[in-house]
Structure 1
Amino acid sequence: MDTQQNTALTRALAEVPGPLPTRGVIHVVIPHTDRFTVVGNHLAQHPDLSCTAIGIAVLIQSLPQGTEVSIKALAARCREGEKRIAAALRELEAHGYLQRIRHRLTDKKVITRTVFCNQPTALPHPHHPAAQPHPRTAAPADAAVHVPARVAVAAPVRVDVPVAVPAPVPAPAPEQISAPAPGQMPAPAPAPVPPAAPLPPRVPLALPVQPPPPAPPSVPLVPPPTAPTPPRPPLPQPGAPTTELDRAATALLCDLRRHAPQFTLSEGDIRQLAPAVAAWLEREAHPDAIRRTLTDDLPQPLRHPVKLLRHRLTALLPPPLPGACDLVVPARPRVVVTPFQTCDDCDRAFRSPAPGHCRDCRETREHRGANVHTAA
């Protein structure tokens, strides 16, 4: 009873349309009407920016234009220190979200202007200048004119446009030429005007269009909704199933509704979950401990009680109890220490398993015995 529940959030969660996911975050989306900022997922889920840099970027984007965003001004607004804020600004500057420009004023003072772009990948990129066409060379009038045209294909296409040449005018017959009257000079015949030759058609030059550079790839941090769901782990099974284990497990599952009314299970669900409870009992788990594990700290609202029991019985399965031989501390090997003895002749201490004489006294006795044997 000491756990506080947010009843307003619980009511809002009950109005979320569609089935709720069994794991992960659940979004309760309430539309904003004022005081909000639109932030793109390319920034909120940027794989190379730290969480501090993303938070600083969102803070700068939410501030009105002209607000001071120096390191000291941001440190006064945030809990992070100046070193972390400076490192976050360097990250944003390296990825194109932030740019700091030094500007010289008329009074020879230098100020720093901070420019923030909410979507640097959408900035226009300069295109390459168009190539100037080569001047065309004049072709003789009595020959076909070849106009090379550049088109946007793999190989250039050559277009041959023939120019119409006027037909020759036949010379007049000699008998048709009349002699000029005396005293009159023959008027010169007007030169024939050839018809204007049609100009060759102009083929437009199709210049290759430079495609814009591709946007940097971004790795989505949230899997798509169509991602395959990993298979569920199987329910634990007892190593040696017996009738007593099955009866005790069935009774424990049937008794859950007395402690938590949400766990009013059907006979089919009890038969499905009984082997898992039998595995817990086989590992000498107390029934009260199993009941507390299954019924404590329940989500609100509980929509799928059988799935919750299946998950807890599988994920929280305790290990088997260790045997008596596993709890015995192994004995250390005994180190045999040779005791000290006192020499009978010189009272010197020496190590020996039995009392007697030290090494020097033994050598002296052996030397004396040898001399006595030699003298004899």
Structure 2
Amino acid sequence: MGTRQNTALARALAEVPGPLPTSGVIHIAIPHTDRFTIVGNHLAQHPDLSCTAVGIAVRIQSLPQGIEVGIKALAARCREGEKRIAAALRELEAFGYLQRVRDRLPSGRFITRTVFCNQPTALVHPRRPAAPQHPAAPAPHPAPAQAPTSAPAQAQAPAQVPMPAPATATAPAPAPAPAPPPEPDTSAPPPVPPPPLLSAPPAPLFVPLVPPPTAPKPPPAPLPRPNEPTPELDRAATALLSDLRRHAPQFTLSETDIRHLVPGVAAWLERAAHPDAIRRILTTDLPHPLRHPAKLLKHRLTALLPPPLPGAHDLTAPARPRIAVTPLQTCDDCDRVFRSPTPGHCRDCREHRAHRSEATRTAA
């Protein structure tokens, strides 16, 4: 049994065109005759989709119309759990392959339709249908006077607008018949109808959330600079950048790169960042291989710039506003307690004293 498999594999490898590669995968392509689905490389080799999302997309694309493709329905068909399937569907929805559309039926009930598109970019940039090519009209041929029609005219007669037949002379008519319309000139070619107007392409069902690769990218952020550049900051930043090659040989920078990156390091030092912390942030988690060390340093100096240290007054807790409390006083006449900034009489006693003094003045 093993020998038969090896023989079949050797025969299949012998039919592969061209020399076989010494490393990597070798494709044995056998054409499908039934039960196959066409999948684009934009999906199979998508750089940002996980393998689970690609597999779920291929599974959905291979199913016929009307099959349930919800989370529970896919979990019943696949070995992945509901959480991984839900995450894969969210990835496909973010990149435009999957869309959930809410429609209203004539009965008034709302339903959710799941739409899967195998080429989301084609919906953003739809192709216009090609205009139909009309053959050029043949040149008119002079026809003899005795011949009513020529051969080309007879071939093109069905394309002309039919004209009403004139009334016969033998038919009796109570009133004189109107003059028949003039017969069309059959020697001239029929008019070419204008090409049909191209209707506007239908609006896409949905627009993917991810912009296409041809979308304009925002300009990169400028390198930070210190608010008050000083010779000390410039000297310390130059020494730190020149010393990076001792800790990471990949950062063997040229003098031009160092002069270009010095303002960014000076901005970090101005914000009280420790040189060891700056060196650790710039030299850890490096990509392999590191092709552009100066560009990586510029990106990290710009994107990871720490905020300035807060001052002493920023760290103090805000003082609570003092509420003025009116003290309690005792009335000199009735010993009633009331609130007043100064001692004296309560409101009732003041009114009584005012009324009594008014009465005394009236009596006098």
- TM, length-normalised to structure 2: 0.51
Question: What CA deviation, in whole Å up to 9, does each residue of 1:66-104 have, x standing for no partner?
Answer: xx97877634124349xx89xx9xx8898xxxxxxxxxx
2:353 aligned with 1:365: yes
> How many Å separate the matches in 2 of 1:252 and 1:341?
72
Asked if the contact 2:244–2:252 (Cα under 8 Å) also holds between the matched residues in 1, the reply is: yes
Task: Report how far residue 294 of structure 1 moved.
Answer: 0.6
- 2:270 pairs with 275, 282, 298, which one? 282
CA change 1:239–1:363 in 2 (3 A) is: closer
CA distance in 2, matches of 1:278, 1:338: 57
Instruction: List runs of 5+ in structure 2 lacking aligned partners.
Output: 1-23, 31-35, 46-51, 102-115, 124-144, 161-183
1:102-251 map, 5 Å:
144-145=148-149, 147=153, 149=156, 159-160=186-187, 223-224=212-213, 231-251=219-239
User: Which residue of 252, 255, 258 corresponds with 1:267?
Assistant: 255
What CA distance in whole angstroms lies between the structure 2 residues aligned with 1:370 and 1:69? 96
Following TM superposition, by how much is the alpha carbon of 1:266 offset from its aligned partner in structure 2, in angstroms?
Answer: 2.4
Equivalent pairs counted in the alignment come to 248
Residue 44 and residue 299 in structure 1: after superposition, are their counterparts in 2 closer, same or farther (change >3 A)?
closer
Distance 1:117 1:359 in 2: 84
CA 1:341–1:301: 2 relative to 1, 3 Å: same
CA shift for structure 1 position 319: 2.5
Q: Deviations over 1:273-327 (max 9, x none)?
A: 1121111111222212211211121112222111110111122222323334444
Match of 1:76 in 2: 76
Q: Structure 1 residues 260, 54: closer, same or farther in 2, change over 3 A?
A: closer
Partner of 2:187, secondary structure, is strand
Q: Percent identity?
A: 65
Deviations 1:157-183 (A, max 9, x none): 96429xxxxxxxxxxxxxxxxxxxxxx
Structure 2 Cα separation of the partners of residues 310 and 283 of structure 1: 17
The superposition leaves residues 22-51 of structure 1 with CA deviations (integer Å, 9 ceiling, x where unpaired) of xxxxxxx96765899641379889xxxxxx
CA distance in 2, matches of 1:276, 1:341: 67
Corresponding letter in the other structure for 2:40 = G
> RMSD across aligned C-alpha pairs, in angstroms?
5.2
Distance 1:80 1:210 in 2: 51
Structure 1 residues 42 and 151: alpha-carbon distance in aligned structure 2, compared to 1, 3 A threshold: farther
- 1:343/1:350 contact within 8 Å kept: yes
C-alpha distance in 2 between matches for 1:92 and 1:373? 93
Distance 2:243 2:354 in 1: 92
Separation in structure 1 between the aligned mates of residue 61 and residue 339 of structure 2, nearest angstrom: 86
In 2, distance between residues paired with 1:364 and 1:294? 85
2:241 counterpart residue number: 253
- The reply on whether 1:303 has 2:303 as its aligned counterpart is no
**Distance in 1 of aligned mates of 2:213 and 2:159:** 39
Structure 2: which amino acid aligns with 1:59? R
| Higher Rg of the two aligned structures | 1
**The residue matched to 2:226 in structure 1 has which SS?**
coil
Contact map agreement 1:151 1:207 (CA 8 A) in 2: no
* 1:152–1:207 CA contact under 8 A, matched in 2: no
CA distance in 1, matches of 2:251, 2:199: 58
1:359 Cα deviation (Å)? 1.9
Check the 8 A contact 1:60/1:69 in 2, yes or no. Answer: no
Contact 1:343 1:357 in 2 (8 A): yes
Alpha-carbon distance in structure 2 between the residues aligned to 1:151 and 1:276: 81
SS in 1 for 2:329: strand
Question: 1:288 is aligned with what amino acid?
Answer: D
Compare the two structures and name the one with the higher helix fraction. Answer: 2
Alignment counterpart, residue 302 of structure 2, candidates 267, 292, 314:
314
Query: In the TM superposition, what whole-angstrom CA distance separates every residue of 1:179-203 from its partner, at most 9, and x where no partner exists?
Result: xxxxxxxxxxxxxxxxxxxxxxxx9
Q: Which amino acid in the other structure matches residue 77 of structure 1?
A: R
Partner of 1:103: none
Give me the whole-angstrom Cα distance separating, in 2, the residues matched to 1:291 and 1:298: 13
